[in-house]
């Protein structure tokens, strides 16, 4: 019975992550095409999609597959699994995007990083700037960015799941003796 519930939780999480990951990829493409800055409002839109996905998937698991019950731990596990599968979808998209479709965007990101460094530390020497940019450049590869995307999604999913599970949990009612 426990294996069946676990399998259902895994399957439910995967099935939820597909449209959630697809929506995030679609929004990312639209943001790229229209040259929107993903910091601020547009970046929060992506986290909002993940939040809605975690709520939707966890509620669906609770109500359709778990007899209307959900422990706090199951809520967190559901959100993390949805985040994991969504993160995998986004990691694949990130890799393909930066490797094949828009490798020039890495240069744009490096230029933005340079601007931010100079804004935050205007008295930075050229040598310090070059060293900081050279370190940043080592991590600005499609593989590292893809891995970073996965980790970022997992961290966001954990934080969101901790909150969502509080509101969606429904423990087994205790009988009064």
42 vs 70, residue with greater confidence? 70
CA distance 151 to 37: 21
Asked whether residue 2 carries a pLDDT value surpassing 70, the answer given is no
Asked whether residue 54 carries a pLDDT value surpassing 90, the answer given is yes
Domain boundary assignment for the chain: 2-102+146-168
Cβ–Cβ under 8 Å, residues 57 and 82: yes
Nearest to 54 by CA among 153, 170, 148: 153
140-165 mean pLDDT: 97
Angle between helices 126-139 and 142-168 (to 10 degrees): 70
Nearest to 144 by CA among 105, 87, 95, 85: 95
At 4 the pLDDT is: 63
Quick: pLDDT tens for 82-114: 999 999 999 999 999 999 999 999 999 899 888
At 35 the pLDDT is: 86
**Prediction pTM value:** 0.88
């Amino acid at each position: 019975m426990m294996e069946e519930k676990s399998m259902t939780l895994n399957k439910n999480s995967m099935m939820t992550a597909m449209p959630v990951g697809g929506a995030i990829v679609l929004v990312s493409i639209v943001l790229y095409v229209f040259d929107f800055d993903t910091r601020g409002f547009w970046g929060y839109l992506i986290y909002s999609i993940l939040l809605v996905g975690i709520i939707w998937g966890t509620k669906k698991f609770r109500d359709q597959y778990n007899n209307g019950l959900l422990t706090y731990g199951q809520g967190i596990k559901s959100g993390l699994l949805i985040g994991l599968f969504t993160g995998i979808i986004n990691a694949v998209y990130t890799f393909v995007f930066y490797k094949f479709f828009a490798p020039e965007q890495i240069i744009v990101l490096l230029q933005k990083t340079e601007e931010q460094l100079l804004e935050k530390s205007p008295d930075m020497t050229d040598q310090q700037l070059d060293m900081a940019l050279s370190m940043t450049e080592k991590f600005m590869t499609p593989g590292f960015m893809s891995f970073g995307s996965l980790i970022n999604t997992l961290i966001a999913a954990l934080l969101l799941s901790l909150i969502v599970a509080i509101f969606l949990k429904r423990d087994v009612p205790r009988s009064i003796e």
